[in-house]
Amino acid sequence: MSEPNINEQSKNESLEQFREEPGEYMTTNQGIRVNNTDNSLHAGQRGPTLMEDFHLREKMTHFDRERIPERVVHARGSGAHGYFQVYESLAEYTKAKFLQDPSVKTPVFARFSTVTGFRGSADTVRDVRGFSVKFYTEDGNYDFVGNNIPVFFIQDGIKFPDLVHAIKPEPDNEMPQAAAAHDNFWDFISLMPESMHMIMWVLSDRAIPRSYRMMQGFGVHTFRFVNEQGKARFVKFHWKPLLGVYSLVWDEAQKIAGKDPDFHRRDIWEAIEMGDFPEYELGVQIIEEEDEFKFDFDILDSTKIIPEELVPVRPIGKMVLNRNPDNFFAETEQVAFQPSHVVSGIDYSNDPLLQARLLSYHDTQIHRLGSANFESLPINRAVCPVHNNDRDGIMQMKINKGKTNYFPNSLGGGCPMMSPESMGGYAHYMEKVEGHKIRERSDSFSDHFSQATLFWNSLSKPEKEHLVKAAHFELGKVETKEVRQRMVELFNQVDNELAKLVAMGIGVAAPKAVTQNHGRTSPALSMENNPNQPEKTIKGRRIAILAADGFDGSQLMEIKQALKSGGAQAEVVSKFKGMIKSADGKEVEVNKTFLTAASVMYDAVYIPGGKESIETLKKEGDVVEFINDTLKHYKAIAATGEAVDLLMMAPESKAMALEKSQSNGHVTSDNGVIASRNADNIKNVAQEFVKAIAQHRHWTRTINEIKPPV
Ligand code: HDE
């Protein structure tokens, strides 16, 4: 048997046979050339349409069936092709072939998603994000189906339909869309203390990522690695984006949902089109079988993490996403991920949440894609040979040759035959299992709060501030007071101060009992304090340059150049599309207008000087709002020359007393505002601006601390 030779292009090549060019002449689906697709065939000029119009019938009936059921969760998503490459052989831990040879690039297809919203909902809602990767390996397809949050709401999969019913729009009026902020969800959560750890993550900034390129991915469950000698170890999977992990702020996320509901989809699509390929490092936490019980939680409980301080994450390889799909429906919509798709060397654990998923995904694909033959859809096909005796069914796409479709057979030469383990046959790990059949939760799953407290303790001050405000928003939309009160009691079991802060904003009593906080932290849980964040750069960031005719050309070009060489993308925003002219007569193209762009679509803003340009911009109300939002959302902003006056017009500048702090004509402070009135050292301004953008957000700017009542 010859070994398949898998390389980065293997999946691309397998898709090629299915690609369709638009073609020169229109035909029916039978290949008959069409001579008129604008008028149906009818009897006489004004008469009824004739049933014999096969073109109308075909066109219409096909159209009537264009939609398939959307995913019951994770309906809205974006996909991309790429490859995965292991850094060095992991033979010591696993026999999975794609984890052996650092010279092999295994093709992958990744899909990122929100969970709750419908297919047409906005990208930037507060929600968990799905992080799925299909690896087309020489051993068959391996699917990683994870989230950007390392824990989950529930411990046993049998609660999943209840959870999803509670969070989705309410059944009587189908409101609200893509939001957890409603009575049903919080009613359910207030009765499910096991969800408190996950709730802390969902209320944190993790639930509003800046970009799919800037969020982590977690396998959530404990899985198993099995090596060639049959030795098994437990493993947890982590993806880390090389651009770092960053979030939006809530006000910004809500505004983006209106200005550009496709914000995340567009961001990753455009990055790939520009050759700015998203990269993620895969890491593993490995736990020896004999250490299974050494933690003060159960490693089979998906509401728990294994803190990185206890078991470090070892980087094992890198994924690069470098090609957008040709067709959204054929690829991103029809791709079918399943946690049960494992390859030799990777196995499951007995996590009861994972065990339920092993059934659900296969079932849902058959329903969603309409047939058990969904595995033959181009995007789902393995790149290694697939042979078995599964036959027929709706939309069978293969023409199976031969006389036998059963096993064992002698008439077909015994084929397709079995592969012993030594030849790659998948053998489930021989774990010894015995016990009574019981419908019970293990006692080892009963601590619901310690890790929620660990998460709270590990956040930076601004992160805590955001979490409390998120709780005020979410629970502020809950009408039933008893539900709000029950939530405060649950928060109290996480941390007393947190419970008091939450209670303040939602009109219920602070808890009477004072709970003890264990005081432990895990810095890796914070996006800000994480010691393992990659170096901060401006790579992949978007910056708006606000200008009109008469702008200072040399200032604009200098800043634009500095941004470009740091890997960021600058866009000129002005009143109208077309060209604008600098004071010395140079033309620059306008990329967006004040109608088609807004501050929330950018990471930072620069305003060059130029008397005429600034006078024009001062008359545009949208410009002041642009600047104000940039300041309000803690983003870097630079203004040079006359633009400093414009900057000072924003109410936020006044609130920050910027005028005072820049009396010497040049302000650079740790609050990310660079205002240089004389602008004679524009290179210096550029440098400081780049540094300020790389900081992502400047939380020191205006923290409205919420203090608990004394
Ligand atoms: Fe899913 N989940 N899930 N889930 N899930 C689906 O499968 C389910 C869970 C996750 O991009 C569905 O193809 C159950 C955890 C992602 O196509 C469905 C349980 C995690 C995606 C389903 C869970 C996930 C899904 C809906 C509890 C993180 C999108 C459509 C036992 C580790 C995959 C589909 C894509 C999708 C069931 C819990 C991640 C219904 C029963 C935990 C990323 O099968």
Is residue 319 within 8 Å of residue 168, measured between CB atoms? no
Cα 30 to middle of ligand 1, angstroms: 38
Q: 143: helix, coil or strand?
A: strand
Q: Please tell me the distance from the alpha carbon of residue 144 to that of residue 142, in angstroms, as a whole number.
A: 7
Which residues fall within 8 angstroms of residue 178, CB to CB, at 6 or more apart? 76, 114, 116, 117, 118, 121, 122, 125, 127
Domain 453-525 in CATH 1.20.1730.10? The answer is: no
Q: Look at domain 542-694 and name its CATH class.
A: alpha beta
pLDDT tens for each residue of 336-392: 999 999 999 999 999 999 999 999 999 999 999 999 999 999 999 999 999 999 999
Phi, psi of 157 (to 5 degrees): -60, -20
**217 pocket-lining for ligand 1 (C-beta < 6 Å):** no
What pLDDT, on the 0 to 100 scale, is given for residue 679?
Answer: 81
698 catalytic residue (yes or no):
no
Nearest to 394 by CA among 426, 366, 436: 366
**357 pocket-lining for ligand 1 (C-beta < 6 Å):** yes
Q: How many CB atoms lie within 10 A of CB 119?
A: 11
Give the nearest ligand 1 atom to 365 CA.
Answer: 13
Q: Please tell me the distance from the alpha carbon of residue 640 to that of residue 98, in angstroms, as a whole number.
A: 53
- Sheet strands (E) in 514-568: 542-546
| Pairing label, strands 542-546, 569-574 | parallel
Pick the catalytic residue from 74, 81, 341, 696.
Answer: 74
Residue entry with tokens 């060019």 = 21
Report the share of the chain in percent with pLDDT over 70.
Answer: 97
What pLDDT, on the 0 to 100 scale, is given for residue 502?
Answer: 98
Nearest to 594 by CA among 553, 640, 544, 648: 544
147 catalytic residue (yes or no):
yes
Query: How many Cα atoms are found within 13 Å in the side-chain-facing hemisphere of 226?
Result: 17
Q: Please tell me the distance from the alpha carbon of residue 104 to that of residue 84, in angstroms, as a whole number.
A: 8
**72 pocket-lining for ligand 1 (C-beta < 6 Å):** yes
Cα 501 to middle of ligand 1, angstroms: 33
What pLDDT, on the 0 to 100 scale, is given for residue 277?
Answer: 98
Give the nearest ligand 1 atom to 218 CA.
Answer: 32
Q: Which residues of the chain have pLDDT under 70?
A: 1-4, 661-670, 702-710
Instruction: Please indicate if the annotation marks 160 as binding a ligand.
Output: yes
What pLDDT, on the 0 to 100 scale, is given for residue 31?
Answer: 97
Cα 73 to middle of ligand 1, angstroms: 7
Helix segments in 178-262, DSSP class H:
183-190, 196-203, 250-259
Cα 74 to middle of ligand 1, angstroms: 7
Instruction: Please indicate if the annotation marks 634 as binding a ligand.
Output: no
**355 pocket-lining for ligand 1 (C-beta < 6 Å):** no
What pLDDT, on the 0 to 100 scale, is given for residue 348?
Answer: 98
Distances from the Cα of 30 to the Cα of 26, 27, 55, 293, 453, angstroms:
11, 7, 10, 64, 64
**653 pocket-lining for ligand 1 (C-beta < 6 Å):** no
| Pairing label, strands 604-607, 636-640 | parallel
Q: Please tell me the distance from the alpha carbon of residue 415 to that of residue 408, in angstroms, as a whole number.
A: 8
Q: How many CB atoms lie within 10 A of CB 73?
A: 18
Total-model pTM: 0.97
Q: Please tell me the distance from the alpha carbon of residue 225 to that of residue 99, in angstroms, as a whole number.
A: 11
165, two tokens? 């019913």
Q: How many CB atoms lie within 10 A of CB 126?
A: 24
- Report the chain's C-alpha Rg in angstroms: 29
Ligand 1: which of 357, 362, 367 to mutate, most ligand atoms within 8 Å of CB?
Answer: 357
What pLDDT, on the 0 to 100 scale, is given for residue 1?
Answer: 43
Residue type, 640: T
Q: Please tell me the distance from the alpha carbon of residue 313 to that of residue 286, in angstroms, as a whole number.
A: 8
Ligand 1: which of 305, 337, 354, 368 to mutate, most ligand atoms within 8 Å of CB?
Answer: 337
What pLDDT, on the 0 to 100 scale, is given for residue 332?
Answer: 98
Nearest to 424 by CA among 140, 47, 205, 50: 140
Domain 77-380 homologous superfamily, CATH: Catalase core domain (2.40.180.10)
Pick the catalytic residue from 55, 81, 147, 182.
Answer: 147
pLDDT tens for each residue of 48-104: 999 999 999 999 999 999 999 999 999 999 999 999 999 999 999 999 999 999 999
Instruction: Please indicate if the annotation marks 224 as binding a ligand.
Output: no
**332 pocket-lining for ligand 1 (C-beta < 6 Å):** no
**134 pocket-lining for ligand 1 (C-beta < 6 Å):** no
Instruction: Please indicate if the annotation marks 33 as binding a ligand.
Output: no
Residue entry with tokens 């859809």 = 377
Residue type, 123: D
272, two tokens? 């790939």
Q: Please determine whether the domains at 77-380 and 453-525 fall in the same fold group of CATH.
A: no
Cα 621 to middle of ligand 1, angstroms: 45
**334 pocket-lining for ligand 1 (C-beta < 6 Å):** no
Give the nearest ligand 1 atom to 359 CA.
Answer: 41
Torsion, Cα 393 398 402 407, to 10 degrees, reads -50
For ligand 1, atom 41, the nearest C-alpha belongs to 357
140: left (phi over 0), alpha (psi -120 to 50) or beta: left
Distance spanning both ends of the chain, measured CA to CA? 76
| Pairing label, strands 673-676, 666-668 | antiparallel
**157 pocket-lining for ligand 1 (C-beta < 6 Å):** yes
Q: Residue ranges per domain, the chain?
A: 77-380, 453-525, 542-694
ipTM: 0.98
Give the nearest ligand 1 atom to 74 CA.
Answer: 29
**364 pocket-lining for ligand 1 (C-beta < 6 Å):** yes
What pLDDT, on the 0 to 100 scale, is given for residue 657?
Answer: 80
What pLDDT, on the 0 to 100 scale, is given for residue 3?
Answer: 53
Cα 408 to middle of ligand 1, angstroms: 36
